[in-house]
Each structure stands twice: as C-alpha cells, then as structure tokens.
Structure 1
Amino acid sequence: MMSSDSLNLFSFKGKIRVLHLTWIAFFITFFAWFNHAPLLMAIADSLSLTSEQVKTLLILNVALTIPARVIIGMLTDKYGPRLTYSLLLAIGSIPCFIFALADSFTAAAIGRFLLGFIGAGFVVGIRMVSEWFPAKQLGTAEGIYGGWGNFGSAAAAMSLPTIALLFGGDDGWRYAVGLTGAIALVYSVIYYRSVTDTPKGGTYFKPKKIGGMEVSSPADFVLLLIMKVPMYAALALLTWKLSPSGVGMLAQSVAIVIYVALAALYAFDAKKCYDINKEIFVKLPEPIHRYQFKQVAVLNILYFATFGSELAVVSMLPLFFSETFTLDPVKAGLLASAYAFMNLMSRPAGGLISDRFGRKSTLLILTAGLALGYLTMSMIDAEWPLYLAVAAAMACSFFVQSGEGAVFAVVPLIKRRLTGQIAGMTGAYGNVGAVFYLTVLSMVSYQTFFLVIAGTAVLGFVTLLFLEEPEGQMAEVMPDGSVSLIDVA
C-alpha cells in the first residue's frame, strides 16, 4: 500500500522501520492477550472448569484493560513509548507464565485478570507513530499500526491450537500459552534496543504534570469528569457480573467493597484532575496553547461504537453462525474469523481515506455505514443464504474497522504532549463499549443486540457533528521556552 506521499512499506529504514517494529510490538501484545481464546476447551478440560467459570475468565480478560489504558497513556507521555512499550511487554509476560502454570480456577483467574494489562499496549504505539510521521501520512501510518497489530488476536486463533498439538498431551495448551509470554519477553529487549522516541534531533514533548489530563477551560474540566464516569461504571458492571447477581464468583460483601472503592477512586481521580488544572479557574491558557476537550469526547463515543462492537461481535459471532445456520463449531469459527481478518486492510484503509479526503467527512460516512451494517446484521436469520450472511458480516466489519482507523487518524492531532493520555482514554472507551454490548447480549436476542449497536452508531453520528476538522497547527513549548508549531493538516 502506498499513500499519496509514497509511504514505502517495503523499506526497513527510518520511520518505516519504526512503524514495522512498533506494529509487531502491538501484534505480540494481542497475541498474548488472546492466547486463551482458541484453547478454551483444552483449558476447561485440564482444570475441570464449569461453563460459568469459563465465562468468568472471559470477563476477567477485559477488566483490567480499562484502567490500564489510561495509566499506560500517562506513563507513555511522561517516560516515552520506547521504555513504556518495552517494560509493558516484559512485565506482561509474567501473567502468561502464571496462566500457563495454573493448577486451579483461582490461579487461572488471577493470571487472566493480570493479563488484561498487556491489552493497553495499543496506546503506546499511537504516540510512537505520531512522533515519526507527518500529519499528511499519520492516518495511514496509524491505520497500518492498528490494523496489522490487531491481527495478533486472529493469529493466536489460527496458530496456538496447532502449537499446542505439536507439544502434545494434556499440557500442550500450557506450552502454547507459555510460548506467547516468552515471545513478549524476548521482543521487549529487541524493541528497546531498536527504536528511539523521536527522529534524530526531534523533541519529545511531555505533559507539565502527571496524574490527570490537562484541559483548557472550566467547561472542559466538567466534560472531562463526565466522560470518566462510564469507565468506572463499566468496572462496576463487571463487578456486578462477578457478584451473586451474575456468575457468583465474588461474595456480595466483596462486591460492595469494590463498588465503594470505585466511588472513592473516582473522587480521588477527580481531585487529581483538579490539582492538575486548577490554574484554569483563575486564568485561561493563551489561545495558542488551548485545545478543545469536546474533540476527545466525540472520539471516545465513536471508539465505544467501533472497537467496542468489534470486541463484542468477535466473541459471539461463531456461536451466532453456529446456532442460526446449524453449523459445526469449527466451520462456524472459520466463517466468523472473516470478520476479524478484515482488520489487515480495513483499518489502514480508514486511515488512508482520512488522510486524503478529510478527517470529519470520512468519519461521518464510515459511522453511517456502521449503523447500516449492524441494522442489516439484525435481519439475518436461517432463511438467508449462508454466503450472504457472511458477506453482510464482512461488509459491516469494513465500516467498523475503517472507523477505528479514522478515529485514530484524529487522536494524535489534538494535543501532541497529551497524545498518550488521549489515546488511552479513547482506547479505554473501546473496552467500555465491549463490556456494555456483552452485557446487553446476555439479556436480549442476537437481533436486538445488533440493533442496540446500530442505535449507538447513530448516537455516534450525531455527536460527530460537533467534531471540528483538525486544521492549521498546534503549539508545544520547547525545553528552552520557545514555542514549536506542529502541522495538523
């Protein structure tokens, strides 16, 4: 693929080299994060898990990723993507080994919960790529990073069962899972030794303070606090699903303690954000240093609908095809994998279209397509020809994943020194969406589930009308106090 500015992906020099090394890092994080999915039957047999315990492992797998993406975003902005990604890969290998060595449901649950942290790796590369590519190539580069890295989950599904068989025996799955941890550990060293945070002579802009996102006005501060609520609500919803009201993994008293802790954590978070931003209540920053937080809020909602629905649909599509068309699980899984497979081209396509035809107009068209795609999927039943149902799912996935690419074509153009935090919050909203949609799925029919996603896509389309096309330049302060202007168009 070539962009209008000849982005030669066959090169392995300069910024293209950094792009390749960074999407591989993201690929490995997703390869490790989803190392359980294709091996679930073997894991369940080996550990004698009930179906409820298996569902609990799936819930735990996404729980920690919500706060992790926000925290990792802050650390990336403060310490740089090179160190942050390398440490994340190294530390993320440990839960892989914990899970591989698990001899009980409790041990497996702890490993699975901790492994959610590695799902935050995506955020780090967004900042790294934004440092190396100019605005006119940024959407394409971020799309390639996101699409090719995201394919790690599909690669795990395709390769890990075979790897487990090669090792053989009842412990084959353990070796396969352990191998993903070993790969992450080795690559952490390779990545650290192979990249730099910026091109030679470039300046890495850091936030003035760490602990909360900077905003530019009191109204933006209020909006920031409002947009934090769904992230805590999603964690409360996960707690509810693990409580006696759901799968019963947590005692009611423990669930209540977690609810209180989440409320206290939100209050502490709000206080930290106030400490970071209290100057704006006395004097607003100079116009050149302001940015509009509503841009971030709109992108959060769009990523909720795009990546949130992708995570949810990838989880349920094999079962949907199996039950609707009475297929055996292997065939249903193969057909459903076409949805995830689209990531290789769709996400880069969303970024490329965004670079060429404008950020906002691209998002409007893709979000409208997303709503129509899920509306179409809500009509699929046993009367449909199977090939048409698969085609509808693939067409829908194009709009979903291109939309993700287009969202992250805008994220790095809002405020350079906050790119990690903005990417972290937007990325977390994808997981919030997944928790919301999977909870809806547990209560309604498949048709209603698809209609709910279509409805949130329409909501996303309406909020998108408030997005302003990035144009001109954004300002950052150099270490010597001078102002650097960065093109965003």
Structure 2
Amino acid sequence: MGTATADQSTAVQRGAGRNLALATAAFALTFWAWNLIGPLSKTYADRLDLDPTQVSVLVAFPVLVGAVGRIPAGILTDKLGGRVMLTASCFVAVVPVLLVGLSGNSYAALLVSGFLLGIAGTSFAVGIPFVNAWYPPAKRGFATGIFGAGMGGTALSAFLTPRLVDGMGLLATHLLMCAALAAMGMVTWTLARNAPLWRASTEPALPRLKAVMKLKVTWQMSLLYAVAFGGFVAFSTYLPTMLVAQYDLAQTEAGLRTAGFSLAAVIARPAGGILSDKVGPLKVCVTAFFGAAVMAVVLAFEPPLEIPAGTSFVLMALFLGLGTGGVFALVAELVDPARVGGVTGIVGAAGGLGGYFPPLIMGTNYQANGDYTIGLLLLSVTALLVGLFTVKTFRMVPKPTPITPRE
C-alpha cells in the first residue's frame, strides 16, 4: 500500500506533456498580447507628444487589470477547469487587442483599451493550477517552471512587435495578433484536457476566496512574488522606454535588448523550478533576491552600453527568473492542491501589482532627475529586505525528498 502511494506521488500522468505544452503556448501568446504597448512606447510618445510620466502610465495600465484579474481567474479555474479558462483567455483577449490597434491616435482611448488589455495577463493564474493537477508533487517545480517559461511572450513582443509595426502598420499588426489568439483558443479547446484526477470545486466563490485570504502562506508568497515576478514585469514592459531614454537607442534596438532580457528570465524560470525540486525552493529564492539586490545597485550606476550594461541586465533577468520559478515551487510545497488555484490567483495578482508601480516610479523619477538611480536603488533595498524575510520565514521548509526508483 505504501509503495503504491509512493508510486502515485511520483508518476506523471499520461497526456501531461501535451497539456503542459498547450498551456505554455497559450500563456506565451496571451503574454505577448499583454505586452503590446510597452515595445511601442516611443511610437506613442512621438505620435501623441507624451512626457515620461504619461508614457509610464500608459505602459503600466495593462499590468493593473492583468494583476487584479488573476484573483477571479484563479477561482474560476478551480471551478470550471483549465481547459475552459485557457480557451476563454485567448478568445476574450481578442477584443482589447483590437481596441488597442484602433486607438493609436488618442491617449485617452489608449489608456482605456490598454486597461482592458490587462485581461490577457490573467492567463497565468489559469495555467498554474491546470498544469499543477497534471503532475505529482515531486514534479511540480519542473511543471510550473516550464509553464512559467511562457512569460517569454514578452520577449516575442519586445523583438517582433516594433518590427511588425514598421513592416505592416499599427492596425495590421494588432489584427494579426487577434487572429493568432483566436486560432490558439480553438487549438486549446480542441486538444487540451483537464487532468483525470482534477475535480471541480463546489465551494461558492466568495467563501472560497475568504478562506484562501485567511491563509498566512498566501500573503507570504504574495510578498515574494511581488518582487520576483513584479521585477520581471516592470523591466519587460518599461525597459524599452528606459533604454531609449538612458542610452538613446532606436525603438527596434531597445526592443532587441529587451527581448534578450526577457529570454534570459524565461530560461531561468524553469531552471528555478527544477533546482527547487533538487535543492529546495528556499535556496533558490534567497539566491534570486540577494542577486537582484546586487544587480540593481550595479545598474543604478548606469554601466556603459553593450557588454557592461548588457551583462548587468542579463544577470538581473536570470536572478528574477530563478525567483519566479522558486516561489511557485514553494507554493506547491506549502499549499493544499485543492486551493492552489485560489492561492495562485492572489499571488499572481501580487506579482502583477509588483510590476505596476515601478514603471510609474521610474517615469516620475526620470522626469524629475533625468536618470533612474533612485528607482533602481529602491528596487535593491526591497529585494534585500524580502530576501532576509525569506530566510527568516521559510528556513524550516524541508528539502524535497529525492525520488528513488522502484525496486
């Protein structure tokens, strides 16, 4: 009996790989849609004569709904299942993407459509419980890490969106994204399946949310993720603006470098999950926060372009990516699987909100002082304090038990 239980706790269900791949692809595409405005910040600034503060507000707006919307998205996933919710995420995102494409000549219209564009960012809270249900506890760091690599959609957006706009025009680019989202929705509905052991939650949504919010671990994980994922979101959305202002790069050049930043974080996220399965998520998270604190200080001194600056930004991306993978490996260890969707919604919201405020601070800081020093030093202090909090709070979390082969 004990052997059978151990086997169930380590066996990967048939079809898990296919569903993980589908969820990751849908996540990447919706994240590309979520980040359509940031890579075009210079286009909008020039066209609408925007100051740095107005640009930062425009870039940050989609993050707001993408953050807050993760709470109901996570709860609905527990109730309706990942297949329905992933499909809905793709189809619903078509509307705000179209509105953004039609709003390029009005700052007010862009703010409204960008606010609604945040819907595309809620897919994260759908995918985590979906893939979590497909994998046993010993493999969930790997699964959530691979799924989290879908945040590479921001890299695709940073690299391809400015080039598509240059080649096709603003509206045509957004129409292409609408078609891609609709196609992905159809693929997800046709091929994705909920895990065999998944069962729909029958609890009413409000009591379920209250129960999740009463868990101390929900808020502890939210703090960690606000720095790890919030830092990634802030850089991936605002870095094109920052590079244009600080290093006088063209929009396409800034997009290329932002894509490199996002790609480094994307590679590091599954690595963070896999390392968490091997050495424990605590070590991964602490390394990430302390490393990010150091790199924020380095970046505050504005290292020269190319190798010094490029290396500094890549290391920052690697630390933040490791942190995002480590945090959700820690969630998988500490949270009852039946509540993962609800907890993920709140933690994901905290991560999104963590990425909402830094662009506003950076834009205001640049407009006032002509540099980003204060904003980066604030990031360093925050990451350092959260790293110390992590060490103190989770030092008793056990290292995962190594998987032993069946005899």
Same fold (TM over 0.5): yes
Structure 2 equivalent of residue 64 of structure 1: 65
Give how far 1:16 is off: 0.7
Does the aligned pair in 1 maintain the 2:156–2:259 contact within 8 Å? no
Q: Contact 1:298/1:460 (CA < 8 Å) preserved in 2?
A: no
C-alpha distance in 2 between matches for 1:161 and 1:328: 10
Whether the aligned pair in 2 keeps the contact of 1:32 and 1:180 (CA below 8 Å) is: yes
Aligned residue number for residue 380 of structure 1: 302
In the TM superposition, what is the alpha-carbon distance from 1:88 to its structure 2 partner? 1.8
The residue identity in structure 2 corresponding to 1:391 is T
Q: CA deviation at 1:377?
A: 2.2
Summarize deviations over 1:408-464 as a string: whole Å, max 9, x none: 112234121221111111111112212332233244442221111111112212321
Residue in 1 aligned with 2:383? 457
Residue 134 of structure 2 corresponds to which residue in structure 1?
Answer: 132
- Residues 14 and 469 (structure 1), Cα distance of their counterparts in 2 relative to 1, 3 Å cut: same
Change (3 A) 1:297 1:317: same
Corresponding residue number in structure 1 for 2:29:
28
Note if contact 1:207-1:417 (Cα within 8 Å) is conserved in structure 2: no
SS at match of 1:338: helix
Distance apart, 1:301 and its partner CA: 0.9
321, 333, 349: which one aligns with 1:428 = 349
- Pair 1:439–1:89, CA change in 2 (3 A): same
- Matched residue count: 379
Tell me by how many angstroms 1:347 deviates: 0.5
Indicate whether 1:438 and 2:365 are aligned. no
Shift of residue 107, structure 1, vs aligned partner: 3.4
Q: Assess, with a 3 A threshold, how the Cα gap between structure 1 residues 423 and 323 changes in structure 2: closer, same or farther.
A: same
Counterpart amino acid of residue 229 in structure 2: F
Q: Cα gap change, 1:407/1:397 in structure 2, threshold over 3 Å: closer, same or farther? A: same
- State the Cα distance separating 1:314 from its structure 2 match: 2.8
Aligned to 2:201: 206
Q: Is the 8 A contact 1:60 1:109 kept in 2?
A: yes
Q: Indicate if the aligned counterparts of 2:155 and 2:258 stay in contact, CA closer than 8 A.
A: no
Partner deviation per Cα, 1:187-213 (whole Å, 9 max, x = no partner): 1121012122113xx242526331254
Match of 2:111 among 109, 112, 132: 109
Q: Distance in 2 between matches of 1:139 and 1:456?
A: 25
% identical aligned pairs: 26
For each residue in 1:71-118, what CA deviation from the matched residue of structure 2 results, as whole angstroms up to 9, or x when unmatched?
Answer: 111111111111111112111111112222336444333221111111
Shift in CA distance, 331/104, structure 1 to aligned 2, threshold 3 Å: closer
Select the residue among 323, 327, 342 that pairs with 1:403.
Answer: 323
Tell me, yes or no, if structure 1 residue 295 matches structure 2 residue 297: no
Superposed, which structure 2 residues align to 1:326-365 within 5 Å? 327-365=249-287
After TM superposition, the structure 1 = structure 2 runs for residues 39-188 of structure 1, keeping only pairs within 5 Å, are: 39-42=40-43, 48=48, 50-51=50-51, 54-102=55-103, 104-147=106-149, 149-167=150-168, 172-188=169-185
User: Which residue identity is paired with 1:83?
Assistant: V
Tell me which amino acid in the other structure corresponds to 1:405. G
Query: Could you list the per-position Cα deviations for residues 297-346 of structure 1 after superposition, in whole angstroms to 9, with x for gaps in the alignment?
Result: 22111111111122222344345445555555544443343221203311
Tell whether the 8 Å contact from 1:29 to 1:89 is kept in structure 2 after alignment: yes
Which whole-Å CA distance do the structure 1 matches of 2:400 and 2:257 have between them?
Answer: 45
Contact 1:65 1:118 in 2 (8 A): yes
- Which structure is larger by alpha-carbon Rg, 1 or 2? 1
- Shift in alpha-carbon separation, 1:390–1:81, aligned structure 2, 3 A: same
Aligned partners of 1:112, 1:321: CA distance in 2, in Å?
A: 22
Q: TM-score scaled by structure 2? A: 0.84
Say if 1:112 and 1:331 are closer, same or farther in 2 by CA, change over 3 A: closer
CA distance 1:77–1:308, shift in 2 (3 Å): same
Distance 1:443 1:161 in 2: 25
Q: CA deviation at 1:144?
A: 1.2
Q: 2:393 aligns with which of 441, 449, 466?
A: 466
Contact map agreement 1:205 1:416 (CA 8 A) in 2: no
Amino acid of the structure 1 residue aligned with 2:76: L
| Rounded Cα–Cα distance in structure 2 between residues aligned with 1:316 and 1:67 | 19
Query: What is the aligned partner in structure 1 of residue 186 from structure 2?
Result: 189
CA change 1:98–1:332 in 2 (3 A) is closer
Superposed, which structure 2 residues align to 1:177-326 within 5 Å? 177-199=174-196, 202-204=197-199, 206=201, 208-213=203-208, 224=214, 293-325=215-247
